[in-house]
Amino acid sequence: MELNLSMNTSDYECREYLASIRWKNGFTCPRCGCAEAWETKEVKYKCKKCGYKMSVTAGTIFQDSHTPLEKWFAAIDLINASNGIITASFLQNKLKLGSNRTAQRMTHFIKRALVRTQIRKYRRAPAEMLNLPVEIDVIPIVITREHFFVITAVEKLGNRTGRIQIKQTDNSPQEFADFIRNTIKVNTSQNGQKKIGIICPKILPSEIREEYNQLIKNSRYAYNASKNVSSNFKKYISERYHGNFDVCCKNFCITQNARFTSVSFEEILELMLK
**What's the pLDDT at 176?**
78
Distance separating alpha carbons of residues 3 and 149, to the nearest angstrom: 50
Give the amino acid at 51. G
Give the amino acid at 252. F
CB 135 within 8 Å of CB 154? yes
When pLDDT is cut at 50, 70 and 90, the band that residue 87 belongs to is: very high
pLDDT tens per residue, range 9-28: 788 888 889 988 988 888 88
- pTM strictly above 0.75: yes
CA torsion angle for 75, 76, 77, 78 (degrees, to 10)?
50
pLDDT tens per residue, range 242-270: 888 889 999 999 999 999 999 999 999 99
State the pairing for strand pair 134-143/44-47.
Answer: unpaired
Q: Nearest 5 degrees, angle CA 97-CA 101-CA 102?
A: 45
Helix axes 88-95 and 69-81, enclosed angle (nearest 10): 130
Give the amino acid at 88. A
